[in-house]
Structure 1
């Protein structure tokens, strides 16, 4: 069941669960994610960064659409951290049902201007728009980027930004970073800032950079108003770790059907962990009432 983000997260917000958003950079990851969410009857967001989009091309989007139209599980296909207006337009043309424009590092007025332009274009195609104010940090090992350190979202500014742009979903900066945290980084979510934001805004809220945060922090963020959580590094790291093990143990393997199945199983394991942590298991039924 293919739908846009606004419709998907409206239900999640009302029922206080979060939809997992998995970055899909290959067909193996797509198949692993869809196999598990179908088993769990969990809504899902299939997303990719601009770099991933440029790498896999339009054909991967068509594969996502194929999967979405052949399941009763709600599916959104989303551009994560769209870098330019032109990239967003290409994503819409490719068939994505949701886009993010990330101009959060620009001055406020410029951020509003480009975001509003994206909203006006996307809404003509019934495509929802995500944006952010404040900046997600980076651990330095993720293609999603970010800053060295986190610029926290100011709740009152968030409310004004949403009013000024007309976006459908809002990504908060409350202490996460993209990528896997090195041992010397100790992430901590600012649930107090999240509570202040939920008092100011009414649209669904998104958490980026959720890899490596403590499960209890993520669960608390869901209970306090997060409706979508992005996961990229967690599924990719286990998939490729297991794939390397398979290749090291079997250096003569050359067939994808020999190389990838064990890595896909590891990906499925993490997908299930996240769906249960976000309380999205079984929630597909809420979209057919």
Structure 2
């Protein structure tokens, strides 16, 4: 199947009122598990890796090559995406490797700087036929000693009018917004502002993205999709659940275990978890 862009996938999702799952992968077993789930469910997916994950886990040229190879060999349409690209240099590296989509995350800067940095990436990426995702409204993060005050999240919600101006000024293909989700494993039950999401969707025509998509209730996914979300990022719960299930299997196994066994378990567990999410997101059968 031909490697596709996130713009193609999410515009189809927008028309069909479902969401495309975007799954961060940091090793071959995870990537193969995502692709196997996509093929088994006849679903489009997005394989992605974030810039910070490149520093912590695996180099871009190595993992990117694996992701691109799997996408080109897959029986379903797959986009390969750089998630949370903070530096222009890493984004350019992803473009040179052949990624079909990149994210420029300048959401921690002021509005004018975010526009300028996003426009610069859009200009280069569009010249290569590559999609661009940007973010407006900084996302909070749980974990690593950081606890989010959920009562204060409304202060960081994306402003609908600002979103409209941002998309018009930058030409971004997708927009990641803040309406109550956080990155990482939730320490409390999230309360999403569907009113804010709906307001943004009414003013912005490009597909909308939710980050911090792990750990939401099934009804939150479905309601988010009904109100305009077309791409759902899903990593933290996937990585945590799979790792701890593998840990339990290691503790319970009485026979010899090799690293290749762990790889196989990882792939199978990722496939099962991703398959369940593709059904909830409504993308199963859409490839």
Structure 2: how far apart are the matches of 1:80 and 1:168? 14
Is the CA contact 2:115–2:166 (under 8 Å) kept in the aligned structure 1? yes
Instruction: Spell out the pairing of 1:272-283 with structure 2 (5 A cutoff).
Output: 272-283=275-286
Residue matched to 2:120: 117
Residue matched to 2:32: 31
Find the partner of 1:137 among 134, 137, 140.
140
Deviation of 1:147 (Å) = 7.4
Instruction: Count matched residues.
Output: 280
Instruction: Spell out the pairing of 1:9-158 with structure 2 (5 A cutoff).
Output: 9-54=10-55, 55-57=57-59, 58-141=61-144, 150=153, 151-158=156-163
For residue 93 of structure 2, give the secondary structure of its aligned residue in structure 1: helix
Structure 2: how far apart are the matches of 1:227 and 1:178? 18
Deviation of 1:261 (Å) = 2.3
Taking a change above 3 Å as real, the CA distance of residues 253 and 242 of structure 1, as seen in their structure-2 partners, is farther
Is the CA contact 1:141–1:180 (under 8 Å) kept in the aligned structure 2? no
Structure 1: how far apart are the matches of 2:147 and 2:90? 18
Any idea what the Cα deviations from partners look like across 1:122-162, whole Å, max 9, x if unmatched?
111111110111111211259xx997653100001000001
Instruction: Spell out the pairing of 1:107-256 with structure 2 (5 A cutoff).
Output: 107-141=110-144, 150=153, 151-182=156-187, 185-250=188-253, 253=256, 255-256=258-259
For residue 77 of structure 1, give the secondary structure of its aligned residue in structure 2: strand
Q: TM-score, normalised by structure 2?
A: 0.92
Taking a change above 3 Å as real, the CA distance of residues 132 and 257 of structure 1, as seen in their structure-2 partners, is same
Is the CA contact 2:214–2:238 (under 8 Å) kept in the aligned structure 1? no
For residue 20 of structure 1, give the secondary structure of its aligned residue in structure 2: strand
Deviation of 1:195 (Å) = 0.7
Deviation of 1:53 (Å) = 2.9
* Highest RCO, 1 vs 2 (Cα 8 Å, sep ≥ 6): 2
Q: TM-score, normalised by structure 1?
A: 0.91
Any idea what the Cα deviations from partners look like across 1:160-201, whole Å, max 9, x if unmatched?
00111110000110100001112xx22011110111011101
Deviation of 1:20 (Å) = 0.2
Taking a change above 3 Å as real, the CA distance of residues 232 and 18 of structure 1, as seen in their structure-2 partners, is same
Is the CA contact 1:239–1:264 (under 8 Å) kept in the aligned structure 2? no
Unmatched 5+ stretches in structure 1: 285-289
Deviation of 1:263 (Å) = 3.2
Structure 2: how far apart are the matches of 1:66 and 1:84? 25
Structure 2: how far apart are the matches of 1:7 and 1:32? 23
Moved segments of 4+, more than 4 Å? 145-149, 250-254
For residue 213 of structure 2, give the secondary structure of its aligned residue in structure 1: coil
Taking a change above 3 Å as real, the CA distance of residues 268 and 102 of structure 1, as seen in their structure-2 partners, is same
CA RMSD of aligned residues (A): 1.9
